[in-house]
C-alpha cells in the first residue's frame, strides 16, 4: 500500500527532483532524497504542517525561498524524468525507507563534515555528499508512523 497518494504528474515532479538533487549519488542517493520528500508529505509538524502532497513539498517556500535548491536554481526542470527515476520515485511512494533518511526531513551538502545537528535536529547519517537529519523525538511523531 502506498505511503502517500500521488498523481502521475507528482511522480514525474518527484523523479525530476530526485535526479536534480542527487543524480551524482546514484540510485541510492536519489532514493534517500525521495525519502525526505515523502516524509515531508506525511509530517504534520514543524514547517511541514501545510504541505499535504508531493507537489506542495517540492514547491514549498520557506523564508522567502524554495525549500529545495533544485527549484531555486531551476535545474529541476532542465531534463525530463526517465523511466528509471519514475520507478525510484514510485518505490518511495510505495513505502521504501532506509537509514539514514528513513525518518529524515532535511538533507544538505555542507561541502565539509556533517554538523552534529541542523537547526537543532540530530544528524542521522551521511550518504556520499549529503547529510541527513530527522526531527528530535517528540517534536514530529507523525514522521515515525507508517
Residue 75, pLDDT score: 75
Residue 58, pLDDT score: 95
Over residues 67-76, the mean pLDDT reads 85
Instruction: Give 26's contacts (C-beta < 8 A, 6+ positions apart).
Output: none
How big is the CA angle at 56 (ends 114 and 6), to the nearest 5 degrees? 100
Residue 26, pLDDT score: 97
pLDDT class of 73 with cuts at 50, 70, 90: confident
Residue 76, pLDDT score: 72
The pLDDT tens digits of the residues spanning 102-112 come to 999 999 999 99
Average pLDDT value for the chain: 94
CATH 1.10.10.2520 fits 8-144, yes or no: yes
Share of the chain above pLDDT 70, in %: 99
pLDDT class of 82 with cuts at 50, 70, 90: very high
**Strand 106-108 to strand 130-133: parallel, antiparallel, or no bridges (unpaired)?**
antiparallel
Alpha-carbon span 133 to 116, nearest angstrom: 9
Neighbour tally for 13: CB within 10 Å? 23
Residue 146, pLDDT score: 66
The pLDDT tens digits of the residues spanning 14-64 come to 999 999 999 999 999 999 999 999 999 999 999 999 999 999 999 999 989
Sequence ranges of the domains in the chain: 8-144
Share of the chain above pLDDT 90, in %: 87
Amino acid at each position: 500500500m502506498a505511503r502517500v497518494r500521488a498523481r502521475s504528474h507528482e511522480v514525474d515532479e518527484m523523479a525530476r527532483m530526485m535526479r536534480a538533487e542527487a543524480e551524482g549519488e546514484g540510485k541510492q542517493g536519489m532514493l534517500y532524497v525521495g525519502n525526505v520528500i515523502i516524509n515531508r508529505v506525511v509530517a504534520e509538524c514543524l514547517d511541514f504542517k501545510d504541505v499535504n502532497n508531493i507537489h506542495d513539498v517540492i514547491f514549498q517556500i520557506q523564508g522567502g525561498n524554495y525549500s529545495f535548491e533544485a527549484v531555486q536554481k531551476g535545474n529541476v526542470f532542465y531534463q525530463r524524468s526517465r523511466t528509471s527515476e519514475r520507478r525510484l520515485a514510485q518505490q518511495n511512494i510505495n513505502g521504501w525507507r532506509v537509514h539514514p533518511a528513513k525518518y529524515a526531513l532535511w538533507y544538505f551538502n555542507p561541502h565539509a563534515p556533517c554538523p552534529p545537528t541542523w537547526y537543532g535536529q540530530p544528524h542521522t547519517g551521511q550518504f556520499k555528499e549529503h547529510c541527513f537529519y530527522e526531527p528530535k523525538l517528540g517534536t514530529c511523531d507523525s514522521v515515525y508512523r507508517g
